[in-house]
Amino acid sequence: MATHKQYSPWVLGYSNRKTIAPGIFEENKWNLAKWNEFWASDAERAKIMLKDYERPLYIHVGNIRTGMNMTKFEDECFEPIIENKIYKVAC
């Protein structure tokens, strides 16, 4: 999952996995309102929302974080793979 459309082609190309991204690719199940909700959400709400997607699930945050509540990634459910950039959803 890429949290910003600018990172989406890179995540798709380098991960060699199905890619979820805001407004593009067939794996995306959320409309803009749901993406806004996810970006602003706390960990508990994010975990519920992410149940919409298959596992394994990795989230690429990158440096563009406008509107992103980063505290959600402090929860034990989000395992840092590359600190402050990529997280594995572990629950």
- Note whether 24 and 8 are within 8 A (CB): yes
| Residue 76: predicted pLDDT | 97
Q: What is the pLDDT of residues 33-51, one digit of tens each?
A: 999 999 999 999 999 999 9
pLDDT band for position 5 (cuts 50, 70, 90): confident
**Distance, CA of 85 to CA of 80 (rounded, Å):** 8
| Residue 62: predicted pLDDT | 86
Q: Write down the domain spans for the chain.
A: 5-89
Higher-confidence residue: 90 or 83?
A: 90
Q: What is the pTM of this model?
A: 0.90
Is pLDDT at 87 greater than 90 in this prediction?
A: yes
